[in-house]
Amino acid sequence: MSTHKIAVIAGDGIGKEVVPAAIECLERIAELHPVSLEFNHFGWGSHYYAEHGRMMPRDGLEQLAEHEAIFLGAVGSPSVPDAESLWGLLIPIRREFQQYINLRPVKTLDGVKSPLASKEPIDILIVRENNEGEYSEVGGRAYRGLPHETAVQETIFTRLGVARAAHYAASLAASRKGRLTSATKSNGIIHTMPFWDEVVEETTRLYPDVTLTSELVDALAAHLVLKPWTFDVIVASNLLGDILSDLGSSVTGSIGVAPSANLNPEGDFPSLFEPVHGSAPDIAGKGLANPVGQMWSGAMMLRHLGHPEAAEHLQLAFESALREGHGTRDVGGPSSTSEFTAAVVAAIDVIDAVGAKDATAEDKPAAAASS
């Protein structure tokens, strides 16, 4: 059994609470499966910035490259300008390691109450292009402080970048319900978005079992609120994918449960797994953070590392703890971060003892933690 070397960056704010919670669960899972995980912790982020004037050391990417995967919590602090913290850590990792797919599942979970009246189950995969688009360094500021002060920000779409995101999304759709929705704004954004539409359309033609709908993002956002159960796979540019996945997670109940995988599908570089949420400084240090997004990201990491059974075990455990009413306050539950984590560890053990199928409500797996 080879050991997977995982680089851990808890980062800022609630990252420091949800990462240890998820690692506690991953370590218990590793004791029960033929999985060996070595976690190497890197204290990078806004505290590191306060001391060193940068978010990670100059050779940070080289240090990370020694690992098979990166497990990240959250980035952002009121003490560091947002663009500085994001472009000093997360974005260089995504780009240098060619993590061009940001896969963001949006799914209803028992125990997480959706604000929607409808009880239709929601199960969407959002494929966010992760290396280009609106997140670009091209642009600048001029005439600072003058009445005609100017800011220019260029969007970059390349055929390679759009096509590889579309390929990934279309092949996912082909393995699911065969419905792919592409987010566009080609009525208003007259150069880049029609190009996006053309490349997505050309690429999807190679997948005869996939039906492509190109939808203006404003209408798509409204549909994501009004009838989210009709979506299967959504492919979107960097910015639009970010916005739609925050919206999607709110529609299913809480951004606290939303996971993501920043993937280099070729495996040439480590992939990175992180919850969709940020550092939430307003609730940091209070034991209020929901660790489900981080745990679910951990399950995605296990799957990526070739351990689907271990991933499924972890997934069943946090779903069971939620279903049994042990959720954190953001999902209407009574638990602190550590109480919920204890409930998930207990559920892992019950599922191990009685099997996934038998670990039903009667077994009250999560309840074991609080008794």
- Taking the complex as a whole, the smallest distance from the CB of residue 278 to ligand GGG amounts, in Å, to 4
Stretch that binds ligand GGG, among 29-37, 195-203, 274-282, 361-369 (CB under 6 A): 274-282
Question: Which residue from 228, 256, 278, 327 is in contact with ligand GGG, where contact means CB under 6 A?
Answer: 278
49 is a catalytic site residue = no
x/- mask, ligand GGG, residues 100-139, rule CB under 6 A, reads ----------------------------------------
- Taking the complex as a whole, the smallest distance from the CB of residue 236 to ligand GGG amounts, in Å, to 12
Question: Which residue from 242, 319, 324, 352 is in contact with ligand GGG, where contact means CB under 6 A?
Answer: 242
Q: Is 275 in the site for ligand GGG (CB under 6 A)?
A: yes
Distances (CA, A) of 70 to 42, 54, 73, 366: 10, 19, 10, 28
**Helix 238-252 and helix 217-226, axial crossing angle in degrees, nearest 10:** 10
Quote the CA–CA distance of 325 and 318 in Å, as a whole number.
11
In the bound state with ligand GGG, the residue whose beta carbon lies nearer, of 295 and 351, is: 295
Say if CB 32 and CB 95 are below 8 A apart: no
- Taking the complex as a whole, the smallest distance from the CB of residue 221 to ligand GGG amounts, in Å, to 17
Kindly give the pairing relationship between strand 36-41 and strand 3-11: parallel
Quote the CA–CA distance of 205 and 200 in Å, as a whole number.
9
x/- mask, ligand GGG, residues 77-106, rule CB under 6 A, reads ---------x--------------------
Which residue from 247, 250, 181, 191 is spatially nearest to 216, judged by alpha carbons?
181
Stretch that binds ligand GGG, among 189-197, 276-284, 304-312, 328-336 (CB under 6 A): 276-284
Quote the CA–CA distance of 65 and 343 in Å, as a whole number.
34
357 is a catalytic site residue = no
Q: Is 74 in the site for ligand GGG (CB under 6 A)?
A: yes
From the candidates 12, 232, 242, 352, which is the catalytic residue? Answer: 242
In the bound state with ligand GGG, the residue whose beta carbon lies nearer, of 232 and 242, is: 242
The β-bridge partners of 106 are 124
Question: Which residue from 45, 76, 111, 365 is in contact with ligand GGG, where contact means CB under 6 A?
Answer: 76
Binding-site ranges for ligand GGG (CB under 6 A)? 74-76, 86, 242, 274-275, 277-279
Residues that are catalytic = 143, 185, 218, 242, 246
